């Protein structure tokens, strides 16, 4: 069994810009901050991907990506899950002039996994990049306001990746991410 997700992975320059914005502020809170190399926009998440389904999932994801067209994305603003008053996850938001295309990319990734026999975690697609976790519910409105002042560089999204996630395998028991395959858009 594999724990996996399909994601848009921003280019290094975009991650560096966000990391620079956050780095001078991280000491102000004892959150579990996401490492820059783990920042991504999840399109679909699957807790258990059977080995027997992996090849078909890859084929179907390749087909789904081939049906999509590149679009521009910008990391900007922020929010908290489940809400800012009792937040456990602090995230950076995204903006695009092609929100319908982004929704179609996410739906295509989810459908590809489901058709390959993979159970995909439910929930509405809410595009974001998790920047920190709190462990316990805390007031995050000041942090969300801070992120609302952030606007990173734009980039062209022209692919998504299938990523394996091994829990607790990294430093300080963080997950380790391994890109299994990258799928260019048509």
pLDDT at 71 (0 to 100): 98
pLDDT score of 124: 86
pTM of the model: 0.93
The tokens for 70 are: 């590149």
Residues 57, 108: contact at Cβ < 8 Å?
no
Cα distance between residue 17 and residue 183, in whole Å: 25
119 phi, psi to nearest 5 deg = -80, 120
Q: What is the pLDDT of residue 122?
A: 81
Alpha-carbon distances of 114 from 68, 102, 110, rounded to whole Å: 18, 19, 6
The alpha carbon of residue 20 and the mean position of all alpha carbons in its chain are separated, in whole angstroms, by: 19
Instruction: Name 8's Cβ contacts closer than 8 Å, sequence gap at least 6.
Output: 40, 41, 43, 73, 105, 157, 159, 160, 161
Contact 57, 45 (CB under 8 A): no
Q: Does domain 2-184 have CATH number 3.90.1140.10?
A: yes
Place of tokens 């992975």: 9
Catalytic residue positions? 40, 128
- Give the pLDDT of the chain (186 residues) as one tens digit per residue: 899 999 999 999 999 999 999 999 999 999 999 999 999 999 999 999 999 999 999 999 999 999 999 999 999 999 999 999 999 999 999 999 999 999 999 999 999 999 999 999 988 899 999 999 998 999 999 999 999 999 999 999 999 999 999 987 666 677 889 999 999 999
**Of 176, 130, 125, whose CA–CA distance to 4 is shortest?**
176
* DSSP H helical ranges for the chain: 12-23, 51-66, 99-115, 141-148
Q: Got the DSSP string for 75-100?
A: EEEEEEES-STTEEEEEEEEE-S-HH
């Amino acid at each position: 069994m594999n724990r996996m997700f399909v994601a848009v992975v921003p280019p290094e320059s975009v991650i560096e810009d966000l990391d620079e914005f956050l780095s001078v502020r991280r000491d102000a809170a004892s959150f579990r901050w996401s490492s820059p190399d783990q920042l991504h926009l999840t399109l679909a998440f699957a807790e258990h991907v059977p080995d027997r389904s992996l090849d078909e999932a890859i084929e179907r994801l390749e087909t789904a990506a081939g049906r999509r067209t590149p679009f521009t994305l910008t990391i900007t603003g922020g929010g908290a899950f489940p809400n800012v008053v009792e937040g456990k996850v602090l995230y950076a938001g995204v903006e695009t002039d092609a929100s319908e295309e982004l929704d179609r990319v996410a739906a295509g990734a989810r459908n590809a996994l489901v058709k390959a026999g993979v159970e995909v975690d439910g929930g509405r697609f809410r595009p974001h990049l998790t920047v920190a976790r709190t462990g316990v519910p805390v007031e995050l409105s000041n942090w969300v306001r801070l992120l609302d002042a952030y606007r990173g560089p734009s980039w062209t999204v022209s692919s998504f990746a299938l990523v394996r996630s091994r829990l607790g395998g990294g430093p300080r028991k963080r997950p380790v991410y391994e890109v299994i395959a990258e799928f260019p858009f048509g």
